[in-house]
Amino acid sequence: MDCLGRSIDIGSFRGIAIKVHPSFALLLIWVIYQWGFATGAGVPGVLFGTIVLLAVFGCVLAHELAHAVVAIRHGLAVHDITLLPIGGVARIEHASLTPRAETLIAVAGPLMNVLIALALTPLVLLIAVAHNINQAIGILLYADEISIAGFILYLWIANILLAIFNLLPAFPMDGGRVLRALLSAHRNRLSATRISVYTAQTMAVALGAGGLLIGDYLMPLVSVFILVSAQMEIRHVEIESALKALPVGQFALWEAGGISPDVPLSFATRGGPRDIVVTRNHQVVGMLWRHELLHHLSGSHHEIYVRDVMDRGFHPAEVSDSVYDVHLWMHESNRSAVPVIDNGEYRGIFTGDRLGHVYQVIEERNRAWHFGMLLAFWNRLRLVWR
């Protein structure tokens, strides 16, 4: 994740790169304190703590891989999984998902932790019998012990907590996505998102206040994290639904009707090198990409025509297509511009710059601030699936 600094590759699973963030090393300091000093166990304690830590993060990794595998099964690309001190993040391609697919991907992670806890349960019961533990609190006490029994109990509790925490119906937790997916069955995505975001924020405020009351300062931090993430999710969905409502034809530039395929390439640089639509008799016949234009102009000097260089494999948008669909297509196909047609006739060109203009229009309309910046930020974050 570039926004968080360089992570170290530690391997891959089915083509998904698995990385560890350098800040992960901070956890080792905690392990030395917690298992070495707090328990008074010294070096053996630290070794034991390291094994516990690796095992817990093995379960976090399994959680993320479960999300990733189900996402891949639904045709989404998974970029990588990064382990951070606060947990794991899987960067999964953003796409319009059916409520069912979104639920399945979201549930897969916590389900993995439930399965691990279930697999450990027979051992936990054996330990409980062997140590005469007949109360839940006893399990908590034994989980601190530096022994195989302590290790198994610790891992069992960790997986139960991972499942519960991630299933909280609050963005950005998996449970928040499930709640929205369930609500989407009866209402539109924007309204479903609003309800799940308000739920998340209410819970976050309660969590933060509760934490302050009992003197736990980690809970208010988690609360702020939920509040901010939830707010960004609602902003994102608001922009998304605004983009879906705007027809691309409204923002296409006429650009003098495009350029003819039969003129010399040097004609295309008039007005500055840029992406240009190639037209003949009001029909789009190709795209002249800026980089191709610059590449050929700096090369040989014999006469080259627009038709020699143009891209015939272009993909036109209809005037009525939404800005959202067109922008998604541009992003996925890595294109900087799209020719816009109306009943087969050229109507204009829609470019990345125009997209910036659309954001401005939305911004003015909603009188919200820094939408573009928020969106750029969110475009990074929304790849992250906790």
Which residues bind to Zn ion, rule: CB under 5 A?
A: 109, 166, 174, 386
Q: Which of 84, 77, 69 is nearest to 1 (CA)?
A: 84
Nearest residue to Zn ion, scored by beta-carbon proximity:
109
CB closer to Zn ion out of 197 and 252: 197
CB closer to Zn ion out of 229 and 279: 229
CB closer to Zn ion out of 13 and 305: 13
Q: How far is the CB of 119 from Zn ion (least distance, A)?
A: 19
CB closer to Zn ion out of 77 and 146: 77
DSSP string for 14-64: TTEEEEE-GGGGHHHHHHIIIIIISSS-HHHHHHHHHHHHHHHHHHHHHHH
Measure the CA–CA gap between 156 and 154, rounded to whole angstroms: 5
Q: Which of 31, 30, 11 is nearest to 82 (CA)?
A: 11
Q: How far is the CB of 71 from Zn ion (least distance, A)?
A: 11
Structure tokens at 163: 């499942």
Q: How far is the CB of 116 from Zn ion (least distance, A)?
A: 14
CB 222 within 8 Å of CB 216: no
CB closer to Zn ion out of 174 and 321: 174
Q: How far is the CB of 30 from Zn ion (least distance, A)?
A: 22
Q: How far is the CB of 66 from Zn ion (least distance, A)?
A: 8
Instruction: Using CA atoms of 366, 369, 372, 376 in order, give the dihedral in degrees to the nearest 10.
Output: -120
CB 293 within 8 Å of CB 265: yes
Q: How far is the CB of 88 from Zn ion (least distance, A)?
A: 8
Q: Length of the chain, please?
A: 386
CB closer to Zn ion out of 174 and 233: 174
